[in-house]
Structure formats: structure tokens, C-alpha cells
């Protein structure tokens, strides 16, 4: 297996030919399975165990950046520190030819982002997927860790017994808040870390955050699962950050009136702009969703697939006056926020 597959893998990324000899004693890198901002992820086989893993290797251009090295090492420590069935396990950490690498579970399935490309999903299916994410966050927050980059791409769905099994991945920019209390900025001057569409308002402003920022991000994912759209639909990431920081989104109760009102209100509360108005913990949000599901009031929306909901109205479907109101509210305060957001996105 090794020679042919490793040779094929060497052609997939420029630095693999350099790294491969150093990993050959323990891991044979087989193929690229993903790329991100910090590193490339390979399917690899442990030579001694004959077992396959995912190996994430830091890109060479980042090897000299202390901040990124720190974030990369943090990912290994965070996952190992939590140890939860709905968080991907990190088994090993090493350095090959000066490039740090992580060895993680090899997950087979699809991301939640891939699932959502087919459109919104039913209320029951959405709760079934969000509940384990919140369970994972309960454990992370109890360990003093805020994920900071929750989004559908970082929620992976594997199959177990014919059902979806959820794994939260990529703790690369997680904050460690010792003792499980306090707040963290984990930023550099003039910048924020994370993915714009799923950031909380305080994170978009580069302000101090705590576990309630993750609650907001879960609220955005729930909003997207149920409506098939994001709460902010501006055309540029900087404009999205400005909108998040300065105005409320269209409420789910407005754009999806056919949904059970109690469920839409839960999603809206999770996305409250003021942290004090949100669910204060992941456990509180999970309890609200599980209780609602237990009341059996979430009738499935009729569709060709039992897990697919009917299409939802987009911002274009709303009255012109309602569309304009959001832009008017944004115009007076957006300029300064956009400037800082553009600086953030350069990171």
C-alpha cells in the first residue's frame, strides 16, 4: 500500500514530499481530505496499528508565526482536555520537518454545511442535530473553553446505527478561560477571529466574550436549519460583521411563520444581540429545545422527504419598506465597524 499511495499523495500538496519521510516511521499520508486557514488535513494510516486517522499539518507559511503555532497547539490541548463523545478526539501531536501536526479521529460522513445545501430541515431533525452540539458545548464550557467558531462546517455528521452521530470539530481558535469563568478576547489589535456569519455581536466588535457567544452561534445555525437562509445576507464579510454589530436580524418568527412559534422564539432568543437577553448557558438552551420536543408540538412540515421542510421566504420576498429599514438602521453607524472588520479579515 505505502509506496504507491504515498507517492500519489505527495503530488497533492507542495510540502507533502518534504513532510512524508519524517512521518513514514509512524504514519503514511494517503490523500488530502480538507484544507483550512491554518493547515491541510490528510487521511493517514498508522503503520504500527494498521488504523487510519486524520492528520492535520500546519502550512509552512505559518510555521514561523507564534500566534498561529499557539492556536494549532491549543486545538490539541482543548480537545484532549474536554473528552466528550460529540467532540472529535485528538490522539497525538508531533512535529515533522519543523511543521506541527495533529492526529485525530478519521470521520466518515458529511458536514452539516453539506447537509444544508439541500435546503432547510424539519424542526425535529434540527433539534436532533443541535442537541448533541449543545451537549458538547456544555462540556467545553464546564472546562472553561469557548469554541468561538461554531458553524455548520465545524459540525460533522457520521452514521451510527442508521442515525446521525454529531461531532464538533476544529477548536483551533477556542478560548481557554481558566476555572470555567470570566471572559476572553483572544484577538490581536484591530481584529477578531472566527467566521463572520456566525459571530455574536460582541465577537464581531472584537469585545470580550464568554460562553454566551457560542450560544448565539448555535442560534444562527438553528435559524439556518429551519429557514434555509442566514440571518444576515449582505454581500461582503465586512458588511456582515457591521450588520451583526449594529442591528437586529429579521426574526425567525417573521420569515418562517409556518414554524411552531415556540421553536422560532427559542431561536430568536438564542440570537439576542445583548448577551443578557439570550439563554445564559448551552444547557439552558438544550433544555428548552428538549422540553419543546417532548411536548410533541413540532408537527413535521409536509414534503417529499420526511426531514426536508418547504422553502422559506428570503429577504427579497419581504416588502420593500421592511427591506429598506434594515439598511437605514445600518447606515448611520456602519462605517467605523466596516473599517475594523476589514482589518479583522486580513488576519
Residue 12 to residue 2: CA distance in whole angstroms: 15
CB 15 within 8 A of CB 60: yes
As beta bridge partners, residue 255 has: none
**Cell digits for 107?**
470521520
H or E segment to which residue 79 belongs: helix 66-82
Q: Is residue 149 annotated as a catalytic residue, yes or no?
A: yes
Helix (H) or strand (E) holding 155: strand 155-160
Quote the CA–CA distance of 218 and 230 in Å, as a whole number: 12
329, three cell numbers = 438602521
What does the angle CA 334 – CA 340 – CA 344 come to, to the nearest 5 degrees? 130
Of 65, 128, 149, 299, catalytic: 149
Cα separation, 178 vs 307, in Å, equals 40
Spatial distance between the Cα atoms of 206 and 273, rounded to a whole number of angstroms: 14
Residues linked to residue 46 through DSSP beta bridges, in sequence order: 27, 51
297, 209 contact by CB (below 8 A) = no
Using alpha carbons, select from 62, 1, 61 the residue that is nearest to residue 30. Answer: 1
Cell of 133: 452540539
Place of cell 484577538: 187
Residues 6+ apart with CB under 8 A from 237: 196, 341, 345
- DSSP, collapsed to helix, strand or coil, labels residue 256 as coil
- Asked if residue 310 lies in contact with residue 228, where contact means CB atoms within 8 angstroms, the answer is no
The residues annotated with a catalytic role in the active site are 149
Amino acid at each position: 500500500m505505502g509506496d504507491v499511495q504515498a507517492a500519489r499523495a505527495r503530488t497533492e500538496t507542495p510540502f507533502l514530499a518534504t513532510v512524508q519521510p519524517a512521518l513514514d516511521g509512524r504514519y503514511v499520508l494517503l490523500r488530502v481530505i480538507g484544507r483550512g486557514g491554518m493547515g491541510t488535513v490528510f487521511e493517514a494510516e498508522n503503520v504500527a496499528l494498521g488504523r487510519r486517522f486524520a492528520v492535520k499539518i500546519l502550512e509552512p507559511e505559518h510555521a514561523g508565526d507564534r500566534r498561529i503555532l499557539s492556536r494549532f497547539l491549543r486545538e490539541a490541548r482543548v480537545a484532549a482536555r474536554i473528552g466528550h463523545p460529540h467532540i472529535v478526539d485528538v490522539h497525538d501531536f508531533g512535529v515533522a520537518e519543523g511543521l506541527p501536526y495533529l492526529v485525530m479521529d478519521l470521520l466518515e460522513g458529511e458536514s452539516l454545511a453539506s447537509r444544508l445545501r439541500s435546503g432547510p430541515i424539519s424542526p425535529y431533525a434540527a433539534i436532533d442535530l443541535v442537541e448533541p452540539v449543545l451537549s458538547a458545548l456544555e462540556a467545553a464550557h464546564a472546562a472553561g473553553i469557548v469554541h468561538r467558531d461554531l458553524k455548520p462546517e465545524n459540525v460533522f455528521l457520521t452514521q451510527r446505527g442508521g442515525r446521525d452521530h454529531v461531532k464538533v470539530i476544529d477548536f483551533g481558535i477556542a478560548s481557554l478561560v481558566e476555572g470555567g469563568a470570566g471572559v476572553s478576547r483572544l484577538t490581536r489589535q484591530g481584529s477578531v477571529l472566527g467566521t463572520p456569519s456566525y459571530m455574536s455581536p460582541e465577537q464581531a466588535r472584537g469585545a470580550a466574550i464568554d460562553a454566551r457567544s457560542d450560544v448565539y452561534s448555535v442560534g444562527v445555525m438553528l435559524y439556518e436549519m429551519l429557514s434555509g437562509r442566514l440571518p444576515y445576507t449582505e454581500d461582503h464579510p465586512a458588511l456582515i460583521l457591521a450588520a451583526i454589530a449594529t442591528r437586529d436580524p429579521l426574526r425567525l418568527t417573521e420569515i418562517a411563520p409556518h414554524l411552531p412559534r415556540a421553536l422560532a422564539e427559542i431561536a430568536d432568543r438564542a440570537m439576542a444581540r445583548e448577551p443578557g437577553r439570550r439563554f445564559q448557558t448551552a444547557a439552558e438552551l438544550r433544555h428548552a429545545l428538549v422540553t419543546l420536543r417532548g411536548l410533541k408540538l413540532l408537527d413535521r412540515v409536509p414534503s417529499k422527504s420526511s426531514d426536508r421542510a418547504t422553502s422559506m421566504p428570503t429577504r427579497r420576498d419581504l416588502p420593500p419598506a421592511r427591506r429598506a429599514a434594515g439598511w437605514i438602521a445600518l447606515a448611520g453607524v456602519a462605517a467605523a465597524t466596516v473599517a475594523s472588520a476589514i482589518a479583522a479579515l486580513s488576519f
